[in-house]
């Protein structure tokens, strides 16, 4: 279901968008929807990247502890 929005846009951004819309021969609404979708995908990927980095730091500490335990275990069998 589509949502109706009221949008305030800077004049320069609007004019640039209008030029592209006319060149592509697509409705302004389609262009804005595509732009917001692309911007949202970008930011979702950036947020996911941050989450992965945080998780990797947490796992790194645990991994080092496991490695030390494994090395100590292996020393007993050498």
- Is residue 1 one of the residues assigned to a domain? no
Domain with 40, as residue range(s), is 11-75
Q: Which of the two residues, 76 and 49, has the higher pLDDT score?
A: 49
CA quadruple 58, 61, 67, 69: dihedral positive or negative? negative
Q: For the chain, what is the domain count?
A: 1
pLDDT in tens, 2-59: 899 999 999 999 999 999 999 999 999 999 999 999 999 999 999 999 999 888 877 7
- Is residue 70 one of the residues assigned to a domain? yes
Given this model, what pLDDT does residue 31 score? 98
For residue 78, name the pLDDT band (cuts at 50, 70, 90).
Answer: low
- Is residue 21 one of the residues assigned to a domain? yes
What Å distances lie between residue 1 and 4, 24, 32, CA to CA? Answer: 10, 25, 16
- Is residue 40 one of the residues assigned to a domain? yes
Name which of 10, 30, 6, 7 is nearest 20 in CA terms. 30
Kindly tell me if the per-residue pLDDT of 73 is higher than 70: yes
What Å distances lie between residue 35 and 6, 57, 63, CA to CA? Answer: 16, 34, 41
């Amino acid at each position: 279901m589509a949502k109706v929005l009221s949008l305030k846009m800077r004049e320069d951004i609007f004019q640039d968008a209008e030029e592209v819309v006319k060149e592509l021969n697509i409705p302004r609404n389609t262009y804005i929807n595509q732009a917001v979708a692309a911007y949202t995908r970008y930011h979702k990927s950036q947020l996911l990247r941050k989450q992965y980095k945080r998780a990797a730091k947490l796992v790194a500490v645990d991994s080092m502890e496991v490695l030390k335990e494994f090395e100590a275990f292996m020393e007993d069998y050498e």
